[in-house]
Amino acid sequence: MDRLVACQTCGLVQKVGEVPKDSVIKCARCHFQIFHRRLNSRTRTLAFSLAALILYFPSNLYPLVTADYQGQHVQTTVFQGIRALFQHQQYFIACLVFCTSILTPGLKIIGLIFISLTLNWPYWKKTRTWTYKIIRIIDPWNMLEVFLLAICVSMIELGEVAAVHPGRGVLSFAATVVLTLLATLSFDPRLLWDSPAEKRHYE
């Protein structure tokens, strides 16, 4: 039986026939995808956050910035940067950098993996909701990660005339930022309270 839907992009009202599983609806006029619920939300979240978790380690273990002065060269990881800030009595900035670049991405990744893995489990519904709430609270703070590079670079540049360039960890660091972003974007919180029948259809 046909249903009537309006495209959320161009507003065209159109008929939709029976939609088999693993199919998507495309607008007849603008060809954008029409959806009621995001497809594969759980798989997407799990895949992105797993990838982010894997790359979380090299991005924090490898130097983010390499500075060359006159033949010497200094490599700085995120953690060394924070320690340097502490030693310079910049406690506030050091805490901020620690929270935004080590603590919150880690919490977020672990939280998302926890939610998407235990989604079909009938217990711990409240815990999952709480986890999601925390993720939503710390989410905007992740955006500050990009400032970290600027801080590291300016710190080293104060020392001497130097050539500063990204270190080996910068690729995995950028990838972690993008992947955690995608993981939060693809998670549909409605999954948390779906009935078992809905779950089978949407996850």
Partner 1 sequence: MNEESHGLPKAKIEKSRSSWILWLIPIAAALLCVWYLCRDLIFAGPTVTIYFQNADGLQEQVSLVQYRGVKVGEVESLKLAKDQKSVAVRAQLDFSAANLAREGSVFWIVRPELKLGAVSGLRTIVMGNYVTVQPGDGARTNEFTGAETAPIEPVKALSIELHSVKLDALQPQSPIFFRGVQVGEVLDCRLSEDSREVVTHARIVEEYAPLVRMNSKFWNAGGINFHLGLFSGAKITAESAQTLVSGGIAFATPPNPQDPATNGAVFILNEKSEPAWEKWSPEIPLHFEPSAVTNKNSWPNLSPQ
| Closest to partner 1 by CB, 15 or 126 | 15
Give the closest residue to 94 by CA, choosing from 148, 150, 57, 138. 148
Residue closer to partner 1, measured from CB, 52 or 152: 52
CB atoms within 10 A of CB 40: 14
Scanning 41-49, 91-99, 123-131, 191-199 for contacts with partner 1 by CB under 8 A, the matching segment is: 41-49
Min. distance of Cβ 122 from partner 1 in angstroms? 24
Q: Is position 72 an interface residue for partner 1 (rule: CB under 8 A)?
A: yes
Whether 172 contacts 58, CB under 8 Å: yes
Q: 16: part of which helix (H) or strand (E)?
A: strand 13-16
Question: Under the criterion CB under 8 A, does residue 113 sit at the interface with partner 1?
Answer: no
Candidates 38, 50, 147, 174; binder of partner 1 (CB under 8 A) is 50
Nearer to partner 1, 59 or 96 (CB): 59
23: how many CB neighbours lie within 10 A of its CB? 9
* Integer Cα distance of 37 and 183 in angstroms: 16
Tell me if 26 sits within 8 A of 9, measured CB to CB.
no
CB count within 10 Å of CB 158 equals: 8
Question: What DSSP character marks residue 65?
Answer: E
Binding footprint of partner 1, residue count (CB under 8 A): 48
Indicate whether 25 belongs to the interface with partner 1 (CB under 8 A). yes
Report which of 109, 99, 101, 113 is spatially closest to residue 43, judged by C-alpha positions: 113
Q: Among the candidate windows 23-31, 92-100, 121-129, 151-159, which touches partner 1 by CB under 8 A?
A: 23-31
> Which residues form the interface with partner 1 (CB under 8 A)?
2, 4-5, 7, 12-17, 19-20, 22-29, 31, 34, 39-40, 43-44, 47-48, 50-52, 54-55, 57-58, 62, 69-75, 168, 171-172, 175, 179
